[in-house]
Amino acid sequence: MASSGLAYPDRFYAAAAYAGFGVGEATSSAAISRFQNDVALLLYGLHQQATVGPCNVPKPRAWNPVEQSKWTSWHGLGSMPSAEAMRLFVKILEEEDPGWYSRAPEFNPEPVVDIQMHKPKDEPHSVPGSTNGTSIPEPNISENGSSVEAQDKDVILEGLSTVSSHDQWTPLSVSGLRPKPRYEHGATVLQNKMYIFGGNHNGRYLSDLQALDLKSLTWSKVDAKLQAEPADSTKTTQIAPCAGHSLISWGNKFLSIAGHTKDPSEGVTVKEFDPHTCTWSIVRTYGKPPVSRGGQTVTLVGTTLVLFGGEDAERCLLNDLHILDLETMTWDDVDAIGTPPSPRSDHAAACHADRYLLIFGGGSHATCFNDLHVLDLQTMEWSRPKQQGPTPSPRAGHAGGTVGENWYIVGGGNNKSGVSETLVLNMSTLTWSVVSTVEGRVPLASEGMTLVHSNYGGYDYLISFGGYNGRYNNEVYTLKLSLKSDSQSTLKEETLSDTTSRVIEPEAEIYQDGKIREISVDNADSDLNNRNDEASEQLLADLKAQKEELEATLSREQLQTVQLKEDIARAETRNAELTKELQAVRGQLASEQSRCFKLEVDVAELRQKLQSMDALEKEVELLRRQRAASEQAAMDAKQRQSSGGMWGWLAGSPTPAV
């Protein structure tokens, strides 16, 4: 977190002193009483782990439950390193009490200074109406999150179309009720609106959905409901608060994937929002979903979503890879070859050429990264490519946005302060460069901010919102990107320069030796006029040739545009047909699944009947054996009676008649 300029371990000791953890046992007990039981015990265990080390003391006796709970919290940390315990201690304290640093008497934060935007030294940029760069003051924010009018009204521009400076961050003057300040929220652009959902504020998860109209720059709250049952559209309830999730636009809707919640589920949950009905719905997915998490990256690649990394509900860092097919809503667990990135969260990801997945930065519990990893989605192989340009500093919690083949990286923190520079990576050449740099503790140097891309009036804009840098922010900033040079204007400039040189060349030939030549007075004027006429005619001829060439090029481009439009129309028709076929196949698949289910039920019933027949056959066989034994016993008795012998005669038994 960028809550202060203090580095570890001083930052940890400042947090521990503020929380009341001292050397004596009495101070630790007093500190525990300031927080809820589970948080207090966790802080106690982390403090002991950071200052003493792993727990080696014997377990207290059962008659003291408080000491037993403290011992259990400490002992459960195992062999966690001291640095990691320090970072976790500060992180949990900031979630419970975000303003602790400003209230610590011995560690007062430095005042907020104006934002000084400037380009790198090797790329100077002048701003109209400014003589020494553009100084943009940070908007004043009141305690309830409302905006206070800035001092410099000339800098605060209204509307994206009136932003004149390129590659300079500009705070936007927005109207309407601002959303509550937050970080770790989700953001996406859909139908000229930027949607903000969820996030974290003062350690509490949010569930509100806000929309910023990019035409009027007006905030509005979306009264969204959660559809409880897909078959019953009238039964609705509230969406669960979450943070650390990902928002992805898909068609005329957008999806919310994963995120931390108060009562996490076992697997990742996918929610879908329909702006026409203002309704959330839980998307039914197939396959084995990834384990529930937050701080992951979700990247749209064609018709699939690629999920990587994050942190699960038990604060365990992950580096697994999963793919969600958006057409079938089926999860696939991917086993890639090569060396994957180390487990991390709060990193950034982008896709290049619908084939390469790029992972940059992120952090563990004690370390921030600045490494770049690339996954080839065709061969499913990880690699560490060689990069060019200035090496980015380590950071976590930064935001990324792609415009063409350029990947912009904004914000983040490095365990000491917020990262001030805005970077861009050319994904074709893997070359880093610095776009702009901000100064002071400003929202653009925050963790957990969001960055979206919008094209408005033919210009590309990057729009940032929120973040945390010692305080929660709800400001909106925009970066207007420079346009590529126009080929026709370049050609015209080259033509003019060539023709100008042709006009100047005769005069240069006349005067380049610096001497006045001896020529006759009668022929001087005529020669000069002839040369001027020839130069003018040559210039007109060149201009006509260039005009004809440009008109021919324009005609070819128009013809190609018409052909492309026809191709697009055919592709859209084909897409509509394929969509209908897909729906028909889905209907057939549903009927087949229903028939298979009925067959499985019939098979189960037949198996039960078969088991019953086996039992009946065993009973019949047993009865047969008993009957045979009874018949055999009767025959034996009859034979004994019929053959009395001599002993029967002696006994006086009568001889049976024949």
Instruction: Quote helix, strand, coil % in the chain, to nearest 5.
Output: 35, 30, 40
In Å, how far from its chain's centre is CA 503?
Answer: 59
Give the integer Cα–Cα distance in Å for 81 and 505.
76
Task: Reply yes or no on whether the pLDDT at 493 is more than 50.
Answer: no
Q: How confident is the model at residue 31 (pLDDT cuts 50, 70, 90)?
A: low
Domain shared by 178 and 78, yes or no: no
Distances (CA, A) of 45 to 4, 187, 523: 24, 36, 104
243 and 376: one domain? yes
Q: Are residues 166 and 66 in the same domain?
A: no
- Is 549 a residue whose pLDDT tops 60? yes
Q: Are residues 55 and 179 in the same domain?
A: no
> Looking up tokens 């979503």, which residue turns up?
305
For residues 244 and 280, give the distance between their C-alpha atoms in angstroms, rounded to a whole number.
Answer: 18
Helix (H) / strand (E) containing 20: none
Backbone CA torsion sign across 160, 165, 169, 175: negative
Does any domain span residue 270? yes
510 Ramachandran zone, left/alpha/beta (phi>0; psi -120 to 50): alpha
The answer to whether position 651 is within a domain reads no
382 bridge partner residues: 375
Question: Would you state the pLDDT for residue 387?
Answer: 96
pLDDT in the model for residue 32 = 55
Q: Looking at 381-395, 399-413, 511-525, which range is the least confident one?
A: 511-525
Same domain, 91 and 178: no
How far is residue 412's CA from residue 221's CA, in Å, rounded to a whole number?
Answer: 27
Any domain includes 617: no
Helix (H) or strand (E) holding 296: none
CA distance 624 to 202: 81
**Residue 452: in which H helix or E strand, if any?**
strand 450-456
Whether 614 maps to a domain, the answer reads: no
The length of the chain, given as a count of residues = 658
Other beta carbons less than 10 A from residue 287's beta carbon = 14
In this structure, the answer to whether residues 84 and 211 fall within a common structural domain is no
Other C-beta atoms closer than 10 Å to the C-beta of 447 total 25
User: What is the pTM assigned to this prediction?
Assistant: 0.54
Q: Is residue 449 part of a domain?
A: yes
Is pLDDT at 498 greater than 60 in this prediction? no
Domain that holds residue 171: 160-480
Q: Of the candidates 212, 214, 148, 147, which has an alpha carbon nearest to the alpha carbon of residue 185?
A: 212
In a domain, 601, yes or no: yes
What's the rounded Cα separation, in Å, for the pair 246 and 224?
Answer: 18
Q: Are residues 268 and 389 in the same domain?
A: yes
Q: Mean pLDDT of all residues in the chain?
A: 80
The CATH number of the domain holding residue 201 is 2.120.10.80
Kindly report the number of other CB atoms within 10 A of residue 35's CB atom: 19
Whole-number pLDDT of residue 644: 59
Place 425 in a pLDDT band, splitting at 50, 70 and 90.
very high
| Dihedral over Cα of 578, 306, 314, 187: its sign | negative
Three-state secondary structure string covering 587-598:
HHHHHHHHHHHH
User: Regarding predicted confidence, which is higher, 34 or 371?
Assistant: 371
Q: Where is 334: in which H helix or E strand? A: strand 330-334
Query: How many Å apart are CA 328 and CA 116, to the nearest integer?
Result: 49
Same domain, 165 and 89: no
Let me know: does 349 contact 340? Beta carbons within 8 Å: no
238 and 307 co-located in one domain: yes
Domain assignment present for residue 243? The answer is yes
Check residue 58 and give its pLDDT.
86
Task: Out of 67-81, 260-274, 608-622, 638-652, pick the least confident.
Answer: 638-652
Q: What pLDDT score does 237 carry?
A: 76
Kindly state whether residues 294 and 412 are assigned to the same domain.
yes
Tens of pLDDT, residue by residue over 157-182, are 456 877 878 889 999 989 999 999 99
Q: Label each residue of 158-200 as H, E or C.
A: CCHHHCCCCCCEEEECCECCCCCCCECCEEEEECCEEEEEEEE
Over residues 627-650, the pLDDT tens digits come to 999 999 999 888 887 765 565 656
Residue owning tokens 């026709």: 488
Question: Is the CB of residue 420 less than 8 Å from the CB of residue 152?
Answer: no
**Is the domain of 463 the same as that of 322?**
yes
Whether residue 461 has pLDDT greater than 80: yes
Q: Is 80 exceeded by the pLDDT of residue 134?
A: no
Q: How far apart are the first and last CA of the chain?
A: 116
How many other CB atoms are there within 10 angstroms of residue 481's CB atom?
Answer: 19
**How many whole angstroms separate alpha carbon 528 and alpha carbon 132?**
48
Helix spans in 402-520 (H): 487-511
Q: How many domains does the chain have?
A: 3
Domain limit, last residue, from 73, 100, 127: 100
Boundary-marking domain end, from 55, 70, 100:
100
Surface-to-core class of residue 311, CB atoms within 10 Å of its CB (0-12 exposed, 13-18 middle, 19+ buried)? buried
Helix axes 37-51, 25-32, angle to 10 degrees: 150
